[in-house]
Structures are given as structure tokens and as C-alpha cells.
């Protein structure tokens, strides 16, 4: 059997999400569909042939996990298996009317399918049970002392064999020792999805009661999996009907999927020298090769996977100064298929519950990438992956977006435009003008300051100004220190600057409203002067300002010529800036919104200081459409009163989550969709990858 060939210089390293279907599995499925297409419940020859596939695969599965064949039930995958195990446990407890053991325990790094199933079935079965999340340490291991204490009243314990995000191998032996030593009657569910083919399993000799498995994590197609149920463990079918699987799981079996899974299990059980499944030592060599390449490509890389406690096939890492989406795009363009450390949706505020539980700071979670290969990955694909890692880093270095070992580099292909440097939920912006080879830096933050400086020096840019859009209620700005660090690159060395970094000597332009405001001249063009104008827009703080980038003609910057607006925390994507700091004023914000609208186009790009929904930028037209409060404040037909605005804005601010319960930093504005804004609530959701 040959692994799926590497085509078009593509290296697939997202095997924890799903593995490719290998040739033997595809052929087995096709053979089952074309030749052995009978129903396993039929008693004629074709049906008996199909039944043979079913039972031979069951025997292979039991051999692979160390169980009896009667303990294997085929399912559509791991999610169904988890639901079935939890439903069986809770239905059993309900039938016994058990009140003495009323705690359901799960490790904080479990796949979300587990706690969500616990909550769902407790509610559906109307059970008075307490669901408790057990903490883990920095290495992702269950904190055993806490586990011991909570175990006294536990009816169910849910843990993982191998974590899907960071690859941590859970210390099941220690957990089992505590369960046996305490003579606990709690049932034990162990998610073994990422363990099959990577760690040795002998379930019948363990204390484990339930263990789910998924075929598409082991080179079989999606839609097939199985559940190990220990003899004597409670079982209630989740799906009833035709009585298939001895009544444990009704519905005509997915015979092509079973056949494909059987082919993979047969391959797994071969002697290693005759199998495409790599021995453990070889997988470790592959991992070490990838680690070496990653360290060379990204000298400041931080590994979130505790290497000593993890399977060799999973590497979770963060690169300071880069959000996961940025690196993901670069890798994907090169043909390297990896995944973000979590599956962040536009509404996600906490990107990875696993890294949060392990005690990592929020920025590492937001920057995390997961590189995962499989036990059948070839040396050819590992070598190609290493090559593509270096090519990806070279692209970043050539564009001065990745710091090199030297203090300065050769200028890359400089282009006019706006660069966005992200740290957590904070945006830093750099305006770049190619002709004058100059730049303006706005709202710098400490995590990206070094990266911005590297870019400035590599491109040999003159810095016209380093600006903040407002002072901060909770911390000092990095701007003064950053300005000193780049003093040799400041175009006007020795010039005087105001509190937010604005040069005291500046030009003047008139806005659409004929308001005269200060401006920095960036460059003169045939169409007019490229300027950055400054408009006072207090509200979020008493000194908040907005900066307008555009072409001023004859000293006037009209609405249509304002291309970008650096709005600080006045208007965010999906909401408005917070106004309940001691230096805030909701009434001032009300008037600033009206002033801003009078000076810019509804299509001018708004570049906020914070980004809570991965939008990067927005515009006034979009925000008016999605934000009822903003729409009402700017409505010219039925204008909203100042009093009503202040009342509603204060309520919105009160509904903001406490920073420690939300994103680990002070929330500077509403993060919400239009619907949630109407409810005046903060929508928080988290999605994770299997």
C-alpha cells in the first residue's frame, strides 16, 4: 500500500482534523460497494459476505484496542460514540434514582463534544447533577489532587488519551490508580480518537468503561467509527429501529466505511517492517526534523505542545507578533496545509480552551498553529514540509515582516499601503508611502513593537510620527519608549510632540465640514497632498482622536477623499468604544459620532484600535446597518436624543464581560452582532477543532 502521493508541491499537515483516505481503504470501500453490496442482516450469500466484512473488521478493531469483539459497536464516528456513552451513563443513573453520586467530571482540555454532551443530556433527562471541569497543569496533565477530591461524589469521569490540539498524552495510569484505590463506582469515559495508531491500547485490562474511536483519523473515510463498551458497563441505545449491532445501534451498517476501516486496522496490525505505519522512533525523528526547521525559520517560536508529554505527530506553536490567521495564509499560499490552534469563528473571543486551561496567555492562543502529521506520513512529505516552512519564512523575511538575526536587512519590495500588526485583540497600524520612503505608526503595542521596528529598519524608512488614538485607562502607552528606540529613524529629529505623539508643528487642512484641523504632510502627488489629518473625537477617553488619511486638494480634505480613518475605540467592528472608564464620557461619544460622520464617507475604511471579531477593518455604512445604537444616533429623520443614547450606551457597557472571564485583557468595546446588540449583550462563543 502506498500513501497518497504528494502532488503540486503540497504537504498536508492537518491529520488531527482528518487524514487522507489511503488507497487500500478506498479500494476496500469500492469493493464493498461494487461487489459485496449486500445487507449484513440478509441471510443469502451476498448478505453473509457483507456480514463477514462487518465481523472481521470488528475482530480487527478489538485486536487493535485490546478488547473482546463483543465490546465493539460500530457508529458513525466519535461524536455519536461520545453521545451514546454519556446518554447510557445518565440513563442508567436515572433508572437507579441515584442521588449519592451526583457529580459529572471532565478534564478542562476535553474536546467540546464531551462537556456539550454532558450539559445537553443532563438537561434533556432532567437530572440534578453537577458538571465539574477539572483543571490541568501547564503540561496538560490532570491535577490529580483536585481529581481525588471531586471523585468522592462522582458518577462519571471523562478524560482523553491524547489531546487533539496539543498532542498531550494523558497519564491514564495515574487516573486509573486513583479510581481503583478509592474504590470509586464512577464510570470512566476515555476519548481515544487521537490515540489509535499512536499509543498502545489494552482496554480490557484497564478500568476504562467507554472509549470512542473515529475512522477518518486513521486514513479511513468520514462517517465510520466505533465505541468500546466494557462488559458490564451500562448501555442504552441512542438509535433504535431494526436492531442492528445486536440492538445496540440500529440502522443499516455503513458497510463501505466498515470495509475501509478494516483495511486500515489490518495495516496497523501488520508487523512494522511490512506496514506503511511508521514505528514510534521514526515518528519521533520526523517530529525532531520539523522542530529544527521551525526553530530555524522562526527564531522566536514558542512551542505550546509539551514535547516530553505529547505524541510525536502533533506540534502546536505560536510565533510572537503573528496572529494564527496571518501565518496560516502564508503557509497555505506555499502549499503547506496546517490549521489554526483552534477553529476561530468571527464571533469567537476565546480561541483555544485547551491553551487557556494549560495557563498560556491569550495572545499565544490567538497566535497558535497546529502542525499534525499521521502515523503513515512519509519521509518525502516530511522533507517537503520542511522545505515549505523555509519558503514561507523567506517570504516574510523578504518583505521585512519577519525579524532576521541582523539588526537591519536589505529593503524588500516596498509598496504603498497600510500594514496591520495584531497582538491579541489590539491593532497597530503602519502607513507606508513608497515614494517618500516614509511611514507613520499608529497605536503601537508592546508585543508587536519589535516587529514593527524590524520592518522600519529593514525597509530603511523615515518615521514621520508615532501616534496613539487615545490614552489608556489601564496601562501606559508603549509609544514614548518606542519613539526613543526609533529616534534615529525619526525624520524630524528633536521635534516636539504632544501627549499622543502628534508633532506640535504640523500643517493645516479643512475637512468637509469646513472645520480646520492639523495635518501631517506625507507626500505631494500630482493629484494633491497625501496627508494624515487629526480630528478630536472624545468619548472613549477624554483625549480620543481620529486620524484621516487621504488626498487633500487645495488644502481641503473632502469626504470622498478620506480613504482610511484610524478611529481608535470610537467605532469598532460590531460595536462602539467603551465609555465607563473614569476618563470616558458617553455624551462626548454621542457628539463625536456625529462629528465623524460629517467629515468622512460612509465607505471610508475604518481601522479601529481593537479587533474582537477578526474583521480587521470596517466602514460606516456596514456599522450603521449592523449596529442599532449607532444607526439611531446618526439617524437624521428621527434623531435620537442625547439622554436616550447615554442611557442605552451605559447599559451596553454594564453588560460587557469582566475581562478575566472573557479574553484576559480589558475589553474596550462591544463585541457583538446586530442581534446581540439589540439585546444589549456580549456574545461569546468558542469553537474548537477535533
Active site members: 344
**Could you give the CA distance from residue 611 to residue 22 in angstroms, rounded to a whole number?**
41
**Could you give the CA distance from residue 10 to residue 126 in angstroms, rounded to a whole number?**
50
First to last CA, the chain: 27
Cell numbers for 13:
499537515
Q: Which residues pair with 302 in a beta bridge?
A: 318
**Could you give the CA distance from residue 663 to residue 668 in angstroms, rounded to a whole number?**
11
Q: Kindly report the number of other CB atoms within 10 A of residue 232's CB atom.
A: 7
What single-letter DSSP state applies at residue 161?
Answer: S
* 140 to 108, 365, 441, 589, 660: CA distances (angstroms): 9, 14, 39, 45, 21
> Are 574 and 672 a contacting pair, CB within 8 Å?
yes
**Could you give the CA distance from residue 416 to residue 440 in angstroms, rounded to a whole number?**
12
Helices 379-398 and 324-334 pack at an angle, to 10 degrees, of 120
Please name the helix (run of DSSP H) or strand (run of DSSP E) that holds residue 6, with its range, or none.
none
**Could you give the CA distance from residue 371 to residue 420 in angstroms, rounded to a whole number?**
25
Q: Which residues pair with 420 in a beta bridge?
A: 429
Helices 255-269 and 45-65 pack at an angle, to 10 degrees, of 40
Closest CA to 401 of 414, 384, 416, 388: 414
- Radius of gyration, alpha carbons of the chain: 29
**Could you give the CA distance from residue 559 to residue 503 in angstroms, rounded to a whole number?**
24
- Specify the residue for cell string 436492531: 243
> Are 530 and 522 a contacting pair, CB within 8 Å?
yes
> Are 682 and 671 a contacting pair, CB within 8 Å?
yes
Task: Label residue 256 exposed, middle or buried (CB < 10 Å: 0-12, 13-18, 19+).
Answer: buried
How far out from the chain centre does Cα 602 lie? Answer: 31
Q: Which residues pair with 75 in a beta bridge?
A: 225
Map 62-107 to HEC letters: HHHHCCCHHHEEEECCHHHHHHHHHHHHHHHHHHHCCCCCCEEEEE
Please, what is the Cα angle at 131 between 127 and 137, to 5 degrees?
165
Q: DSSP 3-state assignment of 335?
A: coil
> Are 171 and 163 a contacting pair, CB within 8 Å?
no
- Specify the residue for cell string 443532563: 122
> Are 87 and 239 a contacting pair, CB within 8 Å?
no
Amino acid at each position: 500500500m502506498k500513501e497518497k502521493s504528494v502532488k503540486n508541491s503540497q504537504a498536508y499537515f492537518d491529520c488531527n482534523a482528518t487524514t487522507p483516505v489511503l488507497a487500500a481503504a478506498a479500494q476496500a470501500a469500492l469493493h464493498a460497494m461494487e461487489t459485496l453490496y449486500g445487507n449484513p442482516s440478509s441471510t443469502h450469500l451476498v448478505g453473509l459476505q457483507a456480514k463477514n466484512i462487518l465481523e472481521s473488521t470488528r475482530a480487527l478493531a478489538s485486536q487493535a484496542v485490546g478488547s473482546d469483539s463483543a465490546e465493539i459497536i460500530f457508529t458513525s464516528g466519535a461524536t455519536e460514540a461520545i453521545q451514546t456513552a454519556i446518554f447510557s451513563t445518565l440513563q442508567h443513573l436515572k433508572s437507579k434514582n441515584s442521588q449519592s453520586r451526583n457529580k459529572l467530571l471532565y478534564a478542562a482540555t476535553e474536546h467540546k463534544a464531551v462537556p456539550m454532551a454532558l450539559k445537553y443530556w443532563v438537561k434533556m433527562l432532567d437530572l440534578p447533577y453537577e458538571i465539574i471541569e477539572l483543571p490541568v497543569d501547564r503540561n496538560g496533565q490532570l491535577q490529580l489532587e483536585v481529581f481525588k477530591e471531586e471523585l468522592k461524589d462522582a458518577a462519571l469521569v471523562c478524560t482523553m488519551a491524547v489531546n487533539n490540539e496539543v498532542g498531550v498524552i494523558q497519564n491514564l495510569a495515574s487516573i486509573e490508580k486513583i479510581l481503583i484505590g478509592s474504590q470509586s463506582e464512577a464510570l470512566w469515559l476515555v476519548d481515544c480518537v487521537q490515540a489509535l495508531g499512536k499509543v498502545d491500547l489494552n482496554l480490557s485490562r484497564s478500568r476504562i468503561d467507554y472509549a470512542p474511536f473515529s475512522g477518518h483519523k486513521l486514513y479511513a473515510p468520514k462517517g465510520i467509527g466505533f465505541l468500546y463498551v466494557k462488559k458490564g458497563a451500562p448501555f442504552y441505545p441512542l438509535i433504535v429501529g431494526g436492531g442492528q449491532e445486536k440492538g445496540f445501534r440500529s440502522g443499516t451498517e455503513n458497510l463501505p466505511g466498515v470495509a475501509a476501516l478494516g483495511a486500515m486496522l489490518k495495516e496497523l496490525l501488520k508487523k512494522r517492517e511490512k506496514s506503511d505505519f511508521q514505528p514510534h522512533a521514526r515518528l519521533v525523528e520526523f517530529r525532531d526534523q520539523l522542530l529544527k526547521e521551525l526553530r530555524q525559520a522562526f527564531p522566536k517560536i514558542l512551542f505550546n505542545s509539551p514535547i516530553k508529554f505529547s505524541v510525536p505527530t502533533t506540534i502546536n506553536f505560536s510565533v510572537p507578533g503573528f496572529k494564527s490567521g496571518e501565518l496560516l495564509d502564508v503557509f497555505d499560499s506555499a502549499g503547506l496545509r496546517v490549521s489554526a490552534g483552534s477553529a476561530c469563528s468571527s464571533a469567537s473571543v476565546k480561541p483555544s480552551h485547551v491553551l487557556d486551561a494549560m495557563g498560556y496567555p491569550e495572545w499565544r492562543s490567538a497566535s497558535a498553529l497546529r502542525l499534525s502529521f499521521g502515523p503513515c506520513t512519509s519521509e518525502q512529505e516530511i522533507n517537503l514540509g520542511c522545505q515549505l516552512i523555509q519558503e514561507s519564512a523567506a517570504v516574510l523575511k523578504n518583505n521585512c515582516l519577519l525579524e532576521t538575526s541582523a539588526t537591519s536587512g536589505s529593503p524588500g519590495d516596498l509598496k504603498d499601503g497600510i500594514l496591520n500588526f495584531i497582538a491579541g485583540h489590539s491593532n497597530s497600524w503602519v502607513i507606508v508611502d513608497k515614494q517618500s520612503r516614509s511611514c507613520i505608526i499608529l497605536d503601537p503595542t508592546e508585543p508587536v513593537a519589535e516587529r514593527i521596528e524590524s520592518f522600519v529598519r529593514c525597509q530603511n524608512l523615515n518615521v514621520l510620527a508615532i501616534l496613539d488614538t487615545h490614552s489608556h485607562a489601564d496601562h501606559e502607552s508603549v509609544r514614548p519608549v518606542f519613539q526613543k528606540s526609533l529616534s534615529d529613524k525619526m525624520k524630524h529629529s528633536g521635534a516636539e510632540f504632544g501627549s499622543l505623539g502628534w508633532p506640535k508643528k504640523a500643517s493645516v487642512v479643512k475637512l468637509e465640514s469646513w472645520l480646520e484641523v492639523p495635518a501631517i504632510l506625507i507626500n505631494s502627488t500630482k493629484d494633491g497632498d497625501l496627508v494624515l489629518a487629526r480630528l478630536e473625537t472624545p468619548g472613549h477617553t477624554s483625549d480620543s482622536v481620529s486620524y484621516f488619511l487621504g488626498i487633500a486638494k487645495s488644502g481641503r480634505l473632502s469626504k470622498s477623499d478620506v480613504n482610511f480613518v484610524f478611529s481608535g475605540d470610537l467605532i469598532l467592528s460590531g460595536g462602539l468604544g467603551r465609555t465607563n472608564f473614569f476618563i470616558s464620557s458617553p455624551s462626548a461619544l454621542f457628539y463625536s459620532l456625529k462629528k465623524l460622520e460629517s467629515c468622512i464617507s460612509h465607505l471610508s475604511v475604518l481601522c479601529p484600535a481593537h479587533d474582537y471579531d477578526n474583521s480587521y477593518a470596517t466602514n460606516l455604512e456596514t456599522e450603521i446597518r449592523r449596529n442599532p445604537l449607532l444607526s439611531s444616533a446618526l439617524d437624521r429623520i428621527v434623531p435620537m436624543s442625547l439622554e436616550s443614547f447615554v442611557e442605552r450606551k451605559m447599559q451596553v457597557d454594564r453588560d460587557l464581560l469582566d475581562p478575566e472571564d472573557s479574553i484576559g485583557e480589558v475589553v474596550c468595546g462591544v463585541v457583538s452582532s446586530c442581534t446581540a446588540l439589540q439585546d444589549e449583550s456580549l456574545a461569546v462563543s468558542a469553537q474548537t477543532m477535533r
